[in-house]
Amino acid sequence: MITVMKFGGTSVGSAEGFRRAAEIVSGGEGSKVVVVSAMSGVTNYLISFLDSGESNADEVIASLRQKHSGAAQDVLSEALLEEYLGVLDIRLQALKELLEDTEVRSDPYFNDNISSQGERLSAVTMSYVLREAGLDSVPLCSEEAGIHAVGCPGAGFADLDLTSRDLSYTLRPLLENGKVPVITGFYGKNGNGKPMTFGRGGSDYSAAVIAHAIDADFLEIWTDVDGFMTADPRIVDGAKTIDEMNFSEAAELAYFGAKVLHPRTIEPVRRKHIPVRVKNSFNPRGEGTIIHHLRAPQDELLRSVAVKTDLSIITVNSSEIAYRPRMVASIIDRIGDANVIVYAISTSLSTIAFLIHNNDVKDVLRNLNRLEGDEIERIDVKSNMCLICAVGDNLLDRCGASAEIFSKVRDANANVELISEGASTVSLNFVVSMDRATAVVRALHEGFIGDLQ
């Protein structure tokens, strides 16, 4: 049996965190592959250094050394600590040279290289902590392991076939020899061997890619919350942990608001039906949330309600929309050129409406205005909108489900600005203004989830 165990930044945020993580890894059965995020705060710190344009890296290096060696000192015995500090210093020296080399800054992969350095340091630290706990552990960076990335800097994704091929050479022999590899999360290497990150929070996705590539039996995501919740506990007092979900429900929730998992985590594991356990390393005895494809049908209508804030609806008006087949395609093309994410689309005879982030409105309008003069009559923008994502197993196969949900929205005194329904059988997504979002989430939770869990 092989389990891939991923530890997030707060789970390896201190000596105590590393120690707890090592206990969890030691306690697990079968072969284990560990994937780590950077220690909490490190990625933000590296990114703020990049943003500052500063070229003297002494302070950054001193602070990273302090953070990692400080944690290791409390956990490692003298002999291991000395060896660890030797390795850490070699890595920090290489990082210092990189940060101070102003010529490499123009490399399109420079930012990805720097922002992924925290994972390289935490992987080494974690590996030594596991050795202290008596495990035969080796650290591997994504390049060495063979995690292949495609896409663009800061927003890569994995080439699953190439990664599977390479991991069968690099990881399998290690596992067969009883070793516990610790691999850097967050990034892979592109075709030229340069680091490409998977977007913020991307270590969850790395772990899922690795689980896929080596046909793991389980993926465990160790984080700082008890699992997926029925709603954001800051909005709903009575929000509870969800014990079980299927892949589709988890993918919708991860994408549309719940910040528990990187949104792409589900894709690679779903393909191979690898169950995922989301667990709290600060409460390892808790059940967490299990995500798999065999979940028993639920009685209650909704499983969870997520909300995505700071969105805008762009409505393009044109009497040509229904009659000119290429019209919709060219509008979508323009939005595609702006390289923004569209969260929902809705059409009518003479309008097409898109939901995008508030920050992307300018770019989208600029591109839409390039469409030929008389094709578009008007473009309307409604900002400060929220997407409510109501998730429930086979929600849309249930007769009357939408009516029940929207009656609660009416009770919350909210106007529905846009609806995206029917595209997914497990979620009903609709837009309300930001000032009604809390009331809507509470009304849906109280009406359909409440004490039923």
Minimal CA–CA distance to 29: which of 222, 218, 208, 233? 218
Is residue 13 within the footprint of ligand ASP (CB under 6 A)? Answer: no
Q: Which stretch binds ligand ASP (CB under 6 A): 148-156, 194-202, 247-255, 376-384?
A: 194-202
The residues, any chain, with a CB within 8 Å of residue 165's CB and separated by 6 or more, are 146
Write down the least CB distance from residue 162 to Mg ion, Å.
25
Closer Cβ to ligand ASP, 39 or 314, answer by number: 39
Q: What is the 3-state secondary structure (H, E, C) of the chain?
A: CEEEEEECCCCCCCHHHHHHHHHHHHHCCCEEEEEECCCCCHHHHHHHHHHHCCCCCHHHHHHHHHHHHHHHHHHCCHHHHHHHHHHHHHHHHHHHHHHHCHHHHHCCCHHHHHHCHHHHHHHHHHHHHHHHCCCCEEEECHHHHCCEEEEECCEEEECHHHHHHHHHHHHHHHHHCCCEEEEECCEEECCCCCEEECCCCCHHHHHHHHHHHCCCCEEEEEECCCCCECCCCCCCCCCCECCEEEHHHHHHHHHCCCCCCCCCCHHHHHHCCCCEEEEECCCCCCCCEEEECCCCCCCCCCCEEEEEEEEEEEEEECCCCCCCHHHHHHHHHHHHHCCCCCCEEEECCCEEEEEEEHHHHHHHHHHHCCCCHHHCCEEEEEEEEEEEEEECCCHHHCCCHHHHHHHHHHHCCCCCCEEECCCCCCEEEEEEEHHHHHHHHHHHHHHHHCCCC
Candidates 163-171, 195-203, 300-308, 377-385 — which segment interacts with ligand ASP by CB under 6 A?
195-203
Among 4, 5, 7, 9, binds ligand ASP (CB under 6 A): 9
Cβ closest to Mg ion, residue 167 vs residue 221:
221
The footprint of Mg ion on residues 195-224 (CB under 5 A) is: 201
Least Cβ distance, residue 9 to ligand ASP (angstroms): 5
Burial of 106 (0-12, 13-18, 19+ CB in 10 A): exposed
* Residue 264 CB, nearest approach to ligand ASP (Å): 12
Q: Tell me: does residue 410 bind ligand ASP (CB under 6 A).
A: no
Picked from Mg ion, ligand ASP, none, the partner binding residue 146 (CB below 5 to 8 A depending on kind) is none
Q: For 278, phi and psi rounded to 5 degrees?
A: -100, 120
**Is 69 among the residues that bind ligand ASP (CB under 6 A)?**
no
Q: Could you give the angle at the alpha carbon of 383 between the alpha carbons of 377 and 385, nearest 5°?
A: 120
Binding mask 287-306 for ligand ASP (x = CB under 6 A): --------------------
Nearer to ligand ASP, 204 or 417 (CB): 204
Applying the rule CB under 5 A, the residues between 8 and 37 that interact with Mg ion are 8
Which residue, 181 or 185, has its beta carbon nearer to ligand ASP? Answer: 185
Does 188 interact with ligand ASP (rule: CB under 6 A)? Answer: no
By CB under 6 A, tell whether 37 contacts ligand ASP.
Answer: yes
157 is an interface residue for ligand ASP by CB under 6 A: no
Q: Measured from the CB of residue 94, what is the shortest distance to ligand ASP in angstroms?
A: 19
Would you say 202 or 288 has its CB closer to ligand ASP?
Answer: 202
Stretch that binds ligand ASP, among 61-69, 196-204, 344-352, 358-366 (CB under 6 A): 196-204
Of 13, 17, 118, 146, the residue at the interface with ligand ASP (CB under 6 A) is: 118
- Which of 202, 263, 268, 392 binds ligand ASP (CB under 6 A)? It is 202
- Tell which one of 185, 195, 268, 392 touches ligand ASP (CB under 6 A): 185
Question: How far are the Cα atoms of 102, 116, 246 from residue 199, in angstroms, in the given order?
Answer: 24, 10, 24
Contact 216, 33 (CB under 8 A): yes
- What, of Mg ion, ligand ASP, none, does residue 43 touch, CB below 5 to 8 Å by kind? ligand ASP
Closer by beta carbon to ligand ASP, 259 or else 293: 259
Scanning residues 87 to 106, which ones bind ligand ASP (CB under 6 A)?
none
Shortest spacing between CB 37 and ligand ASP, in angstroms: 3
Residue 366: both structure tokens together: 């600029």
Residue of minimal Cβ distance to Mg ion: 201
Q: Which does 17 bind (CB under 5 to 8 A by kind): ligand ASP, Mg ion, none?
A: none
Q: 41 to 60, contacts with ligand ASP by CB under 6 A? A: 43
Binding segment (CB under 5 A) for Mg ion, from list 97-105, 193-201, 320-328, 383-391: 193-201
Binding positions for Mg ion, rule: CB under 5 A: 8, 201
Binding positions for ligand ASP, rule: CB under 6 A: 8-9, 37-38, 43, 118, 185-186, 200-203
